Amino acid sequence: MKPADVLVIGAGPAGLAAATAASRNGCRVAMLDDNPAAGGQIWRADITRPHDEDPARAAAIADFHTSGAALLPGRRIVDVPSPSTLLAEAGGHFETYRWDRLILATGARERFLPFPGWTLPGVFGAGGLQALVKGGYPVAGKRIVVAGTGPLLLAVAAHLREYGASIVTVVEQASTLQMLPFAASLLRSPGKLLQGAGYRRTLGATPYQTGCWPISGQGDETLRSVTLTNGRRTWTVECDLLACGFHLVPNTELAQLLGCTLQGSFVQVDSQQQTSVAGIYCAGEPTGIAGVDAAQVQGEIAGLAAADCSPPPTRLLARRAKEAAFGRRLTHAFRLRPEVLKLASQETIVCRCEDVTFSQLQTRSNWTDAKLHTRCGMGPCQGRICGSATEALFGWQLTSVRAPLFPIPVSAFCDESSSLNAPSAR
């Protein structure tokens, strides 16, 4: 019998674990990612420090390579031309991929919430700025405010500081009280605690203010200051950059285009990580924001299931349950306070592609209504940024995903693209 061709989308922790497990169990595996190297967002390679390797990342990538699976980097999935093919863009040309089993490990992105001044040059996503710095963007000597919510804030601040930035402050909207159960859960997971302690050490005397959030950014051409509040008092700090993100939202667009059922905002999976579509599995953040450890164990379960090694070993199921519980505590600890959903003024732009303001959206009844009548989410980003904001602000469920997932040249729909199967790496 011919070995099953397994295609893995996304080379972060979940994708690497899935590809490794499937390949070790006899499948021909190819893993696609839109970045030039494996690692995903959390393990993004740092071009300025190629030897400064995260040991967990190094181990996962080494295991992946030993398994014989193939990495096809620099490829972005743009369309689903038929139920069993994907169209990928690779440096301006297009390739079609077929699969027997598909594993979606598409990760998460930051959530942005609109406030006056959030569109000024100098305002970045927290993770976005970190990715830029890893790509060579200089921050030495820059005064940076890190704001928003989630465990990412401290990691970003520590990282920026290593690159010579001066961290003015880190403001976390969650209160200390709200984060307590999360801190307790770190005590139960020493590995995660060490990581956290590492952040604190690197940050040194940098103030970490909980129960605080940004309410506006000021500046004419570019950001000059940020006004912060703790709900009782507001104050303004001068800065050059604001790195601001409100935790993570899952990347579920490809899953939706493939017809996979969502449960709330997340891809619905069964005990083997299989989605509602037979033969399509999903692992990591798209199934629930729970971090790198959850992603790895889910990836391994998905990889084993795709290779027909069922049922999954009990130790994996136990680890998955434990990490899911961690994810629930994480979500609870960093849940958004109502105040941060009310920061936008009437004139604040919510959809940057189509310049749609908060006041235009206020009168709409749902996402479809907003799209049709204001064109919110109809621009090139297809609602990736404003969609998660309006979901948080108005409770709108994002209804439809349309091809292409990313803008592509008109000719890409026409080209007789080279059709290839997951290549054999052995």
Residues at the contact surface with other proteins, assessed by CB under 8 A: 81-82, 365-366, 368-369, 372-373, 378-380, 382, 402-404, 407-414
Q: Which is nearer to other proteins, 237 or 408 (CB)?
A: 408
Q: Quick one: DSSP state of residue 274?
A: B
User: Where would I find the H helices in 163-282?
Assistant: 176-188, 190-203, 253-257
Q: How far is the CB of 357 from other proteins (least distance, A)?
A: 13
Q: Which is nearer to other proteins, 82 or 271 (CB)?
A: 82
Q: Which is nearer to other proteins, 309 or 378 (CB)?
A: 378
Q: How far is the CB of 404 from other proteins (least distance, A)?
A: 6
Computed on alpha carbons and rounded to an integer, the radius of gyration of the chain in Å comes to 21
Q: How far is the CB of 373 from other proteins (least distance, A)?
A: 6
Q: Which is nearer to other proteins, 176 or 365 (CB)?
A: 365
Walk across the sheet containing 5-9 and list its strands.
70-72, 28-32, 5-9, 101-104, 280-282
Q: How far is the CB of 79 from other proteins (least distance, A)?
A: 8
End-to-end CA distance of the chain, in Å?
17
Q: Which of 287, 229, 264 is nearest to 108 (CA)?
A: 287
Q: Which is nearer to other proteins, 45 or 353 (CB)?
A: 353
What sign for the dihedral angle of Cα 270, 275, 281, 282? negative
Q: How far is the CB of 257 from other proteins (least distance, A)?
A: 10
38 touches 72 (CB < 8 A)? no
Q: How far is the CB of 364 from other proteins (least distance, A)?
A: 8
Q: How far is the CB of 398 from other proteins (least distance, A)?
A: 14
Q: What letter represents residue 57's amino acid?
A: R
Q: Which is nearer to other proteins, 313 or 409 (CB)?
A: 409
Print burial letters for 205-234: b (CB count within 10 Å at least 16), e (below 16): ebebebbbbbbbbebeeebbbbbbbeeeee
Q: Which is nearer to other proteins, 48 or 82 (CB)?
A: 82
Taking the C-alpha atoms of residue 94 and residue 97, their distance in angstroms, rounded to an integer, is 10
